[in-house]
Each structure stands twice: as structure tokens, then as C-alpha cells.
Amino acid sequence: MSATFLLGHLGIGLGLAWLLSWRSPARIDYRLVLFGAILPDLIDKPLGYVLGFQTRLWAHTFLFLFAILALSFVPSLRTWRLVGFGVATHLLLDEIWDLPKVFWYPAYGWTFPAVPFSTDVWFEALLHDPYVQFGEIAGAILLIAFAWVHGIRSWGAFRAFLRHGTLPPLPSGTLR
């Protein structure tokens, strides 16, 4: 089973949103996509550590994704669809269908397999698993390309993006 780490999730999740919104005139808040792209791990990794389970739990389920997308139909929560998009890319990159007990939770039962938490496995994968390595490198390249194309080339611009989700204005006619 493959895994993707931080840069892969952030970069590839963002890259997919970028691709899909390429020709769209609507400006989307990419911060929400980035947040969604790592949200399942932000929730489940600490929980798995505390509970002694594996690190893919409730936030890696179809139910979780469905709940976010359902909530995004509430008018004031419309932007949650961007978080939902990020979560969907996360589950895709985690190849979560390899873990049907997690993805279709609770169809196979209410508990998760107890797997001792081990960071060794992650380092092992990072060092030796080509899927992981490719994901991290591709993710890093996409993050840099996104920042470059959108003019985020200074700490000031980066901070403004983090704070407001805005991208520096580009001359008209430039590709976004």
C-alpha cells in the first residue's frame, strides 16, 4: 500500500484544483484546497497515535468526504466544497480503496485495525518507495510552479496569500 506525504498532498491537490480552474473566471481561495488536502492526516494521524490504531481513520472515510460536501450545500458554507475537493484528492493519493474497511466505514464494522504507530515505516517509505518519492518531488515542483506563475515570489506576497488567500494582481492577458 502506498502513501503520500505532506508535499505530495499539498502540491498535487493544489495542482489538480489549478488545472480544473484554469479557464474559469471565478477566483477560488486555494488555501481551502490546501487545507482539505492535508485535513485527513491532520485529524487521523494524532488520533491514531493516541488510540493505538493505524493512521487512517474517520477522516479518511467516504462518510467524512460526503459530510463535508453535504455541508457545502448550506449557502454560508459554500466554500467548503473547496475543502471537500482537497479531501477528495487526499483520498485519491492515499489510494484509499486499498483499505475498504476504512473507506466504506462503518460498513465493515465500527472499529479500525489496531496497528502500532510507527514513524519508522514512514521514513522507510520516504527513502525507498518510488511512489512516495515521485509524489513528494512532483508535489514540490507543483507548489513552486504555482507560486511562480501567481507571482508569489517574496515573503510579503506569501504572507498576503496565507492571510487573505489573495494572489498578487497580474497584468491582464496573463495566464493564471
Do residues 168 and 150 make contact, with C-beta atoms less than 8 angstroms apart?
yes
Contact status: 41 vs Zn ion (CB under 5 A): yes
Using CB under 5 A as the criterion, what x/- string covers residues 78-117 for binding Zn ion? ----------------x-----------------------
Contact status: 136 vs Zn ion (CB under 5 A): no
Of 10-18, 41-49, 70-78, 127-135, which part binds Zn ion (CB under 5 A)?
A: 41-49
CB of residue 165 vs Zn ion: minimum separation in angstroms?
24
Of 39-47, 124-132, 133-141, 155-163, which part binds Zn ion (CB under 5 A)?
A: 39-47
C-beta of 121 vs 170, nearer to Zn ion: 121
| CA distances from residue 104 to 112, 139, 156 in whole angstroms, order as listed | 12, 27, 43
**Count of residues in the chain:** 176
| Interacting residues toward Zn ion by CB under 5 A | 40-41, 94
